[in-house]
Amino acid sequence: MVQFAYVIAGSEATGGAGLQVDLKTFQQLGVYGIGTITCIVSFDPKNGWGHRFVPVDPQVIADQFEAATASQDLDTVKVGMLGTPATIDVVAKALASQPWRNVVVDPVLICKGQEPGAALDTDTALKEKVLPLATVVTPNNFEARALSGLASLETIDDLAEAGRLILARGPKAVVVKGGIDFPGPDAIDVLVQASPAGGQPTVQVFSAPKIGQERVSGAGCTFAAAITAELAKGSTLPDAVQVAKDLVTRGIQHRVPGHTPFTTVWQGA
């Protein structure tokens, strides 16, 4: 039987990030992808590949959601870039309109090259309206600092502590990604899960050697999309995180250069 995975995210015109990556990742992992576009990002090659960002009208987002959820019984959704408080409002309302088995939130605050300041109002709306709906949230180093309030994440204990603090905002689980900024030779991800019995959250560490010293576009999108696909197929969360990490590691090993100043993950590796 075909399994479905749904994504609500932005389009990124070069195909290296955003909804394009989500759908490629879903396909690679054998699930049928359905997507709703929240915004359109067109990097500007004439201007240092800076971001040109256009939000999709909230009603058009609601219409896409209506079409998607009427066409299939969807129970697993990934939320990627939202971009504005108005978008966050409509997406949060849409998500609350039906039950979900899995809600994977990639809390995209800024994408490469964007001004950090532009993210602040979006950051607040995301924390208040979307994080509490998440069954799992996948912040990178920067996002984990923004969402936890911790100033720096330098050790595995710091990553776990950030995860616990973000857990207190309502999601059921957090995967904090150390990424390239984390000290040392390894790419470390820490999964912090609320204990069903109400005890201490459980902590699991995933590690693989870093590949190169440069950020690769689309890694975060691929990671969260792969978790989503695996959860859609019925995996446990730790198994889904391991599959996602392996896919991203392979995708970075086989990263794709372009005329852009960054390389992108190859989901088909």
Q: Which residues bind ligand PXL (CB under 6 A)?
A: 9-12, 17-18, 41, 80-81, 108, 111-112, 220-221
Which residue bears the tokens 């396909």? 27
Q: Which residue is nearest to ligand PXL (CB)?
A: 111
CB nearer ligand PXL, residue 193 or residue 223 = 223
CB of 135 to ligand PXL, least distance (A): 20
Quote the CA–CA distance of 219 and 212 in Å, as a whole number. Answer: 13
CB nearer ligand PXL, residue 106 or residue 161 = 106
CB nearer ligand PXL, residue 9 or residue 160 = 9
Helix axes 141-148, 156-167, angle to 10 degrees: 50
CB nearer ligand PXL, residue 180 or residue 203 = 180
CB nearer ligand PXL, residue 82 or residue 94 = 82
CB of 81 to ligand PXL, least distance (A): 4
CB nearer ligand PXL, residue 17 or residue 175 = 17
CB of 41 to ligand PXL, least distance (A): 4
Following DSSP, what letter does each residue of the chain receive, concatenated?
A: ---EEEEEEEEETTSSSHHHHHHHHHHHTT-EEEEEEEEEEEEEGGGTTEEEEEEPPHHHHHHHHHHHHHHS---EEEE----SHHHHHHHHHHHHTS--SEEEE------TT--GGGGHHHHHHIIIIIGGG-SEE---HHHHHHHH--S---SHHHHHHHHHHHHTTS-SEEEEE-TTTSSSSEEEEEEEE--TTSSSPEEEEEEEE--SSS--BTHHHHHHHHHHHHHHTT--HHHHHHHHHHHHHHHHHT-B--SSSS-B--TT-
CB nearer ligand PXL, residue 17 or residue 103 = 17
Residues 255 and 214 sit within 8 Å (Cβ to Cβ): no
CB of 185 to ligand PXL, least distance (A): 24
